[in-house]
Amino acid sequence: MTRKKLPGTPREPRGGSVDAPGKKHRPPLEPGPKAAEFETAFAAYQGARHGILMMNGTVTMEVALKALGIGWGDEVVVPALTFVATAYAPMAAGALPVIVDVEPRTWTIDLDQVEAAVTPRTKAIMPVHLGQQMADMDRLMEIAARHGIAVVEDCAHAHGQRWSGRESRSMTHGVRCGDEDGG
């Protein structure tokens, strides 16, 4: 197949956007050394063994759910008070978001309602640590363990946040998801 050159197409690949400025001849979609450096540094900051740069928080949560094998016919419990991405991610994976209310005191997911919402189809709970206010991770992890379901934390507002002196991510048998800008 011959490729027709579009008008205005650069003759050489430009430097990758995730690499240091001024570096040339790197294909645009290939992460450079700065990306790997950031992944390592951010994982260490979070107390995680691994860190992988992703495009945004929404896609990260979708990929996390898919990586856990969650899809069509499955249910994922999410809080009502959050950004739309928390409910969109299960839908993008093919699963049904089951929306429960938040606690009036903390505005995080109401765990009595989580208990009531769990069915044999429930495969994950997605707490949102809203505005750095963490959900009650002790009780949430106990509920998840009792029912054998995963926890995928929406950490878009909770970088560096701790629960009982530990990084929240390190307590999950799921995945911690967040944006680099905290948004």
Ligand X SMILES: Cc1ncc(COP(=O)(O)O)c(C=O)c1O
Tell me the three state secondary structure of residue 141.
Answer: helix
φ/ψ of residue 155, rounded to 5? -105, 25
Task: Mark the segment that binds ligand X (CB under 6 A) among 5-13, 45-53, 108-116, 149-157.
Answer: 149-157
Residue 68, number of CB atoms within 10 A of its CB: 20
Beta strands at 75-79 and 122-125: parallel, antiparallel or unpaired: parallel
Query: How many residues line the site for ligand X (CB under 6 A)?
Result: 13
Using CB under 6 A, pick the residue from 78, 114, 156, 175 that binds ligand X: 156
176 near ligand X (CB under 6 A): no
Q: Which of 111, 108, 114, 78 is nearest to 93 (CA)?
A: 78
Confirm or reject binding of residue 161 to ligand X (CB under 6 A): no
What are the phi and psi torsion angles at 121 (to 5°)? Answer: -90, -10
User: Closest separation between CB of residue 38 and ligand X, Å?
Assistant: 16
Spell out the residues 6+ positions from residue 11 whose beta carbon is closer than 8 angstroms to its own.
Answer: none
| Site track 113-142 with ligand X (rule: CB under 6 A), x = hit | ---------------x--------------
Helix/strand/coil (H/E/C) assignment for every residue in 32-50? CHHHHHHHHHHHHHHCCCC
Between 33 and 83, CB nearer to ligand X:
83
Q: Which of residues 62-101 bind ligand X (CB under 6 A)?
A: 82-83, 85-86
Residue with smallest beta-carbon separation from ligand X: 57
Q: Which is nearer to ligand X, 58 or 122 (CB)?
A: 58
Q: How far is the CB of 86 from ligand X (least distance, A)?
A: 5
Nearer to ligand X, 68 or 177 (CB): 177
Q: What DSSP designation does 95 have?
A: P
Nearest approach, Cβ of 85 to ligand X (angstroms)? 4
User: % helix / strand / coil in the chain, to the nearest 5?
Assistant: 30, 15, 50
Q: Which amino acid is it at 64?
A: A
Segment 1 to 60, residues that bind ligand X, using CB under 6 A = 56-58
Residues of the shown chain interacting with ligand X in the complex, contacts defined by CB under 6 A? 56-58, 82-83, 85-86, 128, 154, 156-157, 179, 183
